[in-house]
A = this chain, B = another copy of it.
Amino acid sequence: MVKITDVAKKAGVSVATVSRVINRQGNVKKSTEEKVLEAIKELDYIPNFPARYLKTKRTLTIGIIVPDITNPFFPIAFRGAESVVKQEDYTIILCNTFEDEYEEMRYLSILEAKKVDGILLIKAPPRSGNEQYMEKLNNLPVPIVYLDRLPQFQDIPAVVADNIGGGYAATTHLIKLGHRKIAIITVQYPLSVHRERLQGYVNALREHNISINKFYIKKGIPTIEEGISLGHSLINMKDRPTAIFATNNKMTIGLMRALEMAGLQCPQDISVVGYDDFDWENVFHPRLTVVAQPAYQMGETAAWLLIKILRDGVDSLPNKKIILSVELKIRESCGIYRQSKLKMP
């Protein structure tokens, strides 16, 4: 492996000079700079980052911790983040936690040991009895920006979507179409995202004086299978809902599957609002009406925040929490409610 001393020897200068050229700190004569550059090219020299870290304390690496990279929301957010950090020559270590806080803890320690310059964290649901971990999280030696999910109402750098607004928009849309029996399929984890979407749903119902039926509120883990099973349990209710709002994309897929298995047509027999907007949702049928989150922009913004913190410190931020708005995309999975058309089980 060619190292800085080799370059120095070849160029006939000291390592200090080579270093100065590489890090363009000035105070190098034009002609020597050329000699050094020449030697670097000749030898195909690249500085050794881990060695460099020892003095500079920077790795030019950040970590992104996500619950599940196969959920299409996260790759989009990842790309958003990557697009901004690459301009500063950062590179990203990607970690999957599978919604498991222990995995998150493990990865966090590793990232700390590997001396990443900062972390973008999409939090796994907190486990009860693990409060001292939150304590640790708040005093991490490395800057951290929360993305999408806010574990508690704390004043920490974070980029989130307007989840209350999303839940509210979806539910209001269904109410305006005449639905009164509106169910919700959401996630049971103790995370802001899900609390807030449910809150938006409740707000909308309250505002229209629709009483809240607690049996219409189904919670589970965010998987397709769970979507199927919760979908089934709603379909099989005596007083079956005429519309269902699913607050998670994987559960939405499961719900659609459950409807199909039960022989129910969407939107004729039952209306559905899903969450997140992906390419295929506007092509295959039924075209889903969804709450679209600005996934890419969320990633960008979070990365931008982190870089700002890295550069100017956390106190330089005008406001730590950034809320991005969502958009209801009305397509074909919601119908007008008409008593006559409703099949009962």
Q: Which residues of A contact B (CB under 8 A)?
A: 1, 46-51, 53-54, 59, 61, 69-70, 72, 74-76, 78-79, 82, 89, 91-96, 107, 109-115, 141, 224, 250, 253, 256-257, 260, 279-286
Contacts and interface: CB of A to CB of B under 8 A. Distances in A.
Between A89, A92, A109, the greatest number of chain B beta carbons within 10 A of the residue's beta carbon is seen for A92
A69 B75 contact: yes
A290 to B, nearest CB: 13
Given A75-B70, A285-B285, A115 B256 contact: no
16 contacts: A46-B109, A47-B113, A49-B113, A49-B115, A50-B59, A50-B114, A50-B115, A51-B54, A70-B75, A89-B110, A91-B95, A91-B110, A94-B94, A256-B284, A257-B283, A260-B283
Contacts of A51: 50, 53-54
Contacts of A141: 1
Contacts of A69: 69, 75, 78-79
A201 B329 CA distance: 39
A280 B284 CA distance: 9
Nearest to A287: B284
Given A69-B75, A256-B283, 8 more contacts: A47-B113, A50-B53, A61-B93, A70-B75, A91-B111, A92-B94, A93-B93, A253-B279
Contacts of A284: 256, 280-281, 284-286
Given A1-B141, A82-B96, A284-B284, A113 B75 contact: no
Contacts of A74: 75
A72 B279 CA distance: 11
